Amino acid sequence: MTKEKLALAIIDRLKKEYPDAGCTLDYNQAWKLLVSVRLAAQCTDARVNVVVQDLYAEFPDVNALANASVEDIEKIVKPCGLGRSKARDISACMKILRDEYQGKVPDDFDALLKLPGVGRKSANLIMGDVFGKPAIVTDTHCIRLVNRMGLVDGIKEPKKVEMALWKLIPPEEGSDFCHRLVYHGREVCTARTKPYCDKCCLKDICGKCGIN
């Protein structure tokens, strides 16, 4: 089976296994996803979803957060780890949204990359989830699973994995495919324990690369 055919088969099976998979960060406005993505670095989405409730209660919109001091933001986001750097990035990012984009999140990939604390993973998440544009989010689950499945060959660098997947995954499937990898990576193809291959919906087509 070619990698292209393997990719389509995996997409089809994961769709059936996780039909309602979506972003695990809670948000109802684009700028809130931008904040949550920054806070999620080296932190669980579940913790971020709790912490941002206090953050938005104190600073309910872009202007309020842009006008807040880094110290006040840090006090609230500290439980997410790396509090100082995350607070600094969030503050700077909200100021740019306020001053350059009328409080809106830009729907241009390159513009997103210029925002403080926003890398390719975050920009792709926002492009796919907020704006419905083609996106591939190469988080740790994605990188681990596509290597195990045999879609990429021992590639660990996020951008290189992303570029390889663009050649295999239909553009309209990329965003949802990556969300489903998160669910599958947490429930079945786990990192901290031996993966549960016996109950995997992909067990007959997965390359099981690196799995004993």
Q: Is 89 a catalytic residue?
A: no
Say which residue the tokens 């016996």 belong to: 198
Burial of 71 (0-12, 13-18, 19+ CB in 10 A): exposed
Nearest Cα neighbor of 103 from 94, 91, 112 is 94
Q: How is residue 173 annotated by DSSP?
A: G
Nearest Cα neighbor of 62 from 106, 105, 25 is 105
Q: Which of 86, 89, 121, 176 is catalytic?
A: 121
Q: Is 139 a catalytic residue?
A: yes
CB distance 144 to 188 below 8 Å: no
Nearest Cα neighbor of 164 from 156, 24, 172 is 156
Q: Which of 32, 86, 89, 139 is catalytic?
A: 139
Catalytic residue ranges? 121, 139
